[in-house]
Amino acid sequence: MKKLSSSAIAHPNIALIKYWGNKNQALRIPVNGSISFNLDSLFTKTEVTFISELTSDILFINGHETTGLGLDRVVSFLNIVREQAGTQSFAKVNSENNFPVGTGIASSASAFAALSLAASNAIGLDLSEKELSCLARRGSGSASRSIPEGFVEWFPGVMDTDSYAVSIAPARHWGLVDLVAVVTHEHKKVGSTAGHELANTSPLQKARVDDTKRRLDIVREAIKYHDFQAMAEMVELDSNMMHAVMMTSRPVLMYWENTSISIMKNVQKWRASGIPVCYTMDAGPNVHVITTKDYSEDIYQKLACMNGIKQIFIAAVGGKARLVND
């Protein structure tokens, strides 16, 4: 029995300028560029083993065999890898997250980044970082941003081979911390893939997209010069703009819960008092509260005193997707 096995780790990322809406849904080519940083303490570890005797792909997530839509999405992705490698072999995929899925921490980003690296390596492809980012994008758009190191920008591109992410600064460049305030552990009702398809039903999406270059430029410069205040205002604006599109889509996507509002309002008060802190929310009710290492304990204590927060994850800026030995 021939076995080709590799394991990889990748981190989720938090977008400072958001990805919402595709110009090519099948290839997940986004309508606008985005900027994120990886979250070091959170990760997906994925082992991929191509086994010649298998008659189909099999998937285990956190130790449980997974079928249905979750498996279908992985099979579709592995078909792309097999096509690139010119082989037919099926795989056993064993994926583990150290954080809950489906609640606004982008588990699909780290999952498909780790899967891209492990699967391509196991099957014998030797992909560049750019090619890996393109590949990861096919599984989940934001997974393209979990391939490179630290602070990352995803260039939208126009085709499969030019829509990828690059590192714009290493993790050590700026000591930011993301405190993820978990408001609910419920699975979100509308996932990101379905959500992206609704973006154009909002009368506000075009205006959001048309204004993206300005926001990207400001956040890219703010990262370069460690300008927290400039970053904070733009990150919150960008988050509000994405949720503005969501809540004016048809059907309406309202990811905010009442506790989300309380956290956002408190973050604005804390920043007004002089603390470098800002919020951003992905397609879920959890609030990412971004601050610097110097203030992370203070902000943690402040969040811990609030009602309605179930759990707080803390992550500094993380590294790139990488192969690991089991």
Smallest gap from Cβ 208 to a copy of itself, in A, equals: 7
Q: Does the protein bind a copy of itself through residue 306 (CB under 8 A)?
A: no
- Can you count the helices (H) and strands (E) in the chain? 9, 16
Comparing CA positions, the residue from 141, 191, 179 lying closest to residue 290 is: 179
Measured from the CB atom, is 80 or 244 closer to a copy of itself?
244
Give 20-44 as a DSSP string. --EEETTTTEESS-EEEEEBTT--E
Closest approach of Cβ 99 to a copy of itself, in Å? 25
How far apart, in whole angstroms, are the C-alpha atoms of residue 282 and residue 300?
20
Q: Which of 41, 173, 184, 256 binds a copy of itself (CB under 8 A)?
A: 256
214 — phi, psi (to 5°)?
Answer: -55, -45
Considering beta carbons, is residue 1 or 272 the nearer one to a copy of itself?
Answer: 272
Stretch that binds a copy of itself, among 39-47, 187-195, 238-246, 294-302 (CB under 8 A): 238-246
**Contact between 262 and a copy of itself per CB under 8 A:** yes
Q: How far apart are CA 164 and CA 6, in angstroms?
A: 23
CB of 143 to a copy of itself, least distance (A): 28
Report in angstroms how near the CB of residue 39 gets to a copy of itself at its nearest: 26
Q: Say if residues 94 and 127 touch (Cβ distance below 8 Å).
A: no
| Of the residues 69, 158, 254, 323, which one makes contact with a copy of itself according to CB under 8 A | 254
Asked if 175 and 219 touch (Cβ cutoff 8 Å), the reply is no
Q: Does 230 bind a copy of itself (CB under 8 A)?
A: no
261 binds a copy of itself (CB under 8 A): yes
**Strands of the chain, DSSP E:** 3-10, 13-17, 22-24, 29-30, 34-38, 44-51, 58-61, 64-66, 90-97, 151-155, 164-169, 176-182, 277-280, 287-292, 311-316, 322-324
Rule CB under 8 A: say whether 257 interacts with a copy of itself: yes
How far is it, in rounded angstroms, from Cα 264 to Cα 261? 5
Q: Is 236 in the site for a copy of itself (CB under 8 A)?
A: yes
C-alpha 284/C-alpha 253 separation (Å) is 10
**Does residue 241 interact with a copy of itself by CB under 8 A?**
yes
The reply to whether 264 sits near a copy of itself by the rule CB under 8 A is yes
Among the listed ranges 127-135, 169-177, 187-195, 230-238, the one in contact with a copy of itself (CB under 8 A) is 230-238
Binding residue for a copy of itself (CB under 8 A) from 27, 54, 230, 247? 247
Which residues, listed in sequence order, are joined to residue 182 by a DSSP beta bridge? 311
300 is an interface residue for a copy of itself by CB under 8 A: no
Q: Are 106 and 66 in contact (CB under 8 A)?
A: no
Tokens in use for 267? Answer: 């973050």
Q: Using CB under 8 A, which of 260, 280, 286, 296 touches a copy of itself?
A: 260
Question: Of 259, 280, 286, 296, which one interacts with a copy of itself (CB under 8 A)?
Answer: 259
* Contact flags string 176-215 toward a copy of itself, x per CB under 8 A: ---------------------------xx-xxx-xx----
282 binds a copy of itself (CB under 8 A): no
- From CA 293, how far away is CA 12, in angstroms rounded? 19
| Binding residues for a copy of itself (CB under 8 A) | 203-204, 206-208, 210-211, 233, 236-237, 240-241, 244-245, 247-248, 250, 252, 254, 256-262, 264-265, 268
